[in-house]
Structure 1
Amino acid sequence: MRLPFYYGWVIVAVTFVTMAIGVNARTAFSLFYPPIIAEFGWERGVTAGAFSFGFVVSGIVSPLIGRLMDRTGPRAVMELGVALRAGGLLLAPLTSQPWHLYVTIGVMVGAGSVCLGYSGQSLFLPNWVIRRRGLAIGVAFAGVGIGSMTLLPWVQHMIAQTDWRAACTA
């Protein structure tokens, strides 16, 4: 049975959603930051250091993840990214010491974001859409902006209604 549209556009839509959630799940730390400081009373630099450390981890593992993508393909690496990011976000609410944030938000979410970010999407997406490749990639990556406008207000609402731990788990 033939679809009434080209299947590559389904891949573009899935990439749009993946980018909307994947990129913004990491940047949502800025919303968790004030409640974490209020709850634990840690120094601002120590707490923010976990997020910054995630960028250091991203920079270190990016070449390794790129090599892994070349060897195994983007599917396996993206599955690893989902596991790392989900694990980091699910374990972060169990935080009781600053180093917990460094492991969960810094290492796990930081490394997971590389697996799910632009590099992996850019590797497979051009294979699905040839005639309108620029449009397809533009639409797919627009998910980051749309995700910022929808996901981040929802996370802030969750934090206000419950607490940062429940919002992080959600």
Structure 2
Amino acid sequence: MNSGQRTSRLYYGWIVVGVVFLTLLVSAAINSLPSVLMLSLEDEFGWDRGAVSAAASIRILLYGLMGPFAAAFMLKFGIKKMMVISIALLVTSILVTPMMTEVWQYIVLWGVLVGLGTGSLANVLGVTVANRWFVKHKGLVIGLLTASAATGQLIFLPLLAQAVDTMGWRFSIYLVAGALLLLVPLVVLGMKNHPSDIGQPALGEEHVEKPAPFTGNLFTTPIKVLVSAAKSGTFWLLAGTFFLCGFSTNGLIGTHLIPACGDFGIPIVIAAGLLSLMGLFDLIGTTMSGWLTDRFDSRWLLFWYYGLRGLSLIFLPYALGTGYTQLLIFSVFYGLDWIATVPPTAKLASDAFGKEKAGMVFGWVLVAHQLGASLAAYGAGVVREALGSYTVAFVAAGFLCLLASLMSIRIRKARHLKATIAA
């Protein structure tokens, strides 16, 4: 088997990475669509910003809460089956959306159901695949799969914004549903659950190792892992910094940048283009972050990532009120750092708590991320309604990122922390 791996032209794990990359890419389009729809839904149905933001807040929260349980379900039933079920749930929810007439229906469809579906196709999926298939280049793979979310913005946001502007928001819904349906045969034919399924070791290992069967309870095991991991200060520092990461990225900028641009008379297509540009530079920044994570201390990488993000958010209100050049500078600078924090955070979790439980532990860290994002998604909408601008929300998020920067260097290097959750 070892000689077969050496003579093979392409390690099959890279094909698995390609399938997961495309799946996460389309999932990113779903997550970015509510920000494009926000103004259209307000105009057509008369819903206020706070009500529409509530759906985004619930979706973001469930996106995170699904993480540790999705990791357990992947261990029990396999990655492929979970991906197909999640895609089916998303397609059903999206196709029902044009029939809605009340805001509670939007909250159920795009808050609850889409939150559950995308939560099973989240960063936990990428971390699980990287841990199963790669020892060598693990950080790079996590960075690449994390960057797929940015690439989804790059490809879909301008297209969706243009579709909403010219064909109406319902057409954009059908466009995303069609992209999801195209994924199904790709996942069914190309996805494998584990390298041992095809008789190969993980890249960087010498021997084929079959995964230990999952014997715990699907719902209580992730909670037991959380209780055990919570005994470590490392877990709380990872969760705390990731809470502030979510607060300052998809919860705030991902949800409210387009409406904030609208407050300054910037057309929706141009505003979506700014997010798309962030996606392009985050593809570069997050992939590079994965490469750096394989080579440098993850704690100091996080220190710089959070610090630079904080400065860019403090600069944002000035950029919005000044002109397109300053917004372009912000988009490039912020985009390089959008989700570059994921590879070093995932590596710190894996190093500290072990390969087998890394998916569930990182899933709980991701819950903290989405709690922060959920708070920002709803809170920024409330602040905008109360004060008439997003300035306070953006500046406050910037200072919180500076706090996260200081918290990052307090994380201990992994020594024997794996014993903490051995039970």
Q: What interval of TM-score do these two structures reach, taking the shorter chain for normalisation?
A: 0.7 to 0.9
1:3 is displaced (CA, Å) by 5.9
Structure 2 partner of 1:41: 46
**Helix, strand or coil: the match of 1:159?**
helix
**Matching residue of 1:57:** 62
Q: Which deviates further from its counterpart, 33-42 or 9-18?
A: 9-18
Give the C-alpha shift of residue 160 in structure 1. Answer: 1.3
Deviation at 1:6, TM superposition (A): 2.2
Give the equivalent residue in structure 2 for 1:133.
138
In structure 2, C-alpha distance between the alignment counterparts of 1:20 and 1:26, rounded to whole Å:
10
CA separation of 1:71/1:7 partners in 2, compared to 1, >3 Å: closer, same or farther?
A: closer
Letter of the aligned partner of 1:136 in structure 2? V
Task: Choose 1 or 2 for highest CA Rg.
Answer: 2
> Which structure: greater helix fraction?
1
Q: 2:80 aligns with which of 75, 81, 98?
A: 75
Question: Is 1:147 aligned to residue 152 of structure 2?
Answer: yes
Farther off after superposition, 68-77 or 141-150:
68-77
Give 1:60 shift: 4.4
**TM-score normalised by structure 2 residue count:** 0.38
Query: Does residue 7 in structure 1 map to residue 12 in structure 2?
Result: yes
8 Å CA contact 1:88–1:108 kept in 2: the answer is yes
Partner of 1:103: 108
Question: Retained in 2: the 8 A contact 1:12–1:137?
Answer: no
TM-score w.r.t. length of structure 1: 0.88
What runs of 5+ residues in structure 1 fail to find an aligned partner? none
What residue is the counterpart of 1:169 in the other structure? 174
SS at match of 1:138: helix
Distance 1:59 1:136, change over 3 A: closer
Separation in structure 2 between the aligned mates of residue 114 and residue 136 of structure 1, nearest angstrom? 20
> In 2 relative to 1, CA 15–63 (structure 1 residues): closer, same or farther, beyond 3 Å?
closer
Say whether the 8 Å CA contact 1:23–1:117 is kept in structure 2: no
Matched residue count: 169
Q: Which has the higher contact order (CA 8 A, sep 6+)?
A: 1
**Cα distance per residue 1:35-79 (max 9 Å; x no partner):** 111111122212221111223333544443333233222222222
Larger displacement relative to structure 2 (147-156 or 52-61): 52-61
8 Å contact kept, 2:59–2:111: yes
1:110-121 correspondence to structure 2 within 5 Å: 110-121=115-126
The unaligned stretches of length 5 or more in structure 2 are 1-6, 176-423
- Give a deviation string over 1:146-170, Cα, whole Å, max 9, x none: 2212211111111112010110121
Query: Contact conserved, 1:24 with 1:152, CA < 8 A, in 2?
Result: yes
2-structure distance, mates of 1:35, 1:65? 33
Contact 1:81 1:116 in 2 (8 A): yes
Listed one character per residue, the Cα deviations across residues 8-30 of structure 1 (whole Å, up to 9, x for unaligned) are 22222222222221123112210
Letter of the 2:76 counterpart: R
Question: Match for 1:124 among 123, 129, 143?
Answer: 129
Q: Does 1:85 align with 2:90?
A: yes
Alpha-carbon distance between aligned partners in 1 of 2:19 and 2:77, rounded to the nearest angstrom = 21
Aligned to 1:96, the other structure's residue is in SS state: coil
Over aligned residues, Cα RMSD in angstroms? 2.0
- Aligned partner of 1:120: which letter? L
Q: Between the two proteins, what is the percent identity of the paired residues?
A: 27
- Which one is further off, 48-57 or 58-67? 58-67
**Structure 1 residue 135: deviation in Å?**
1.8
SS of the residue 1:28 aligns to: helix
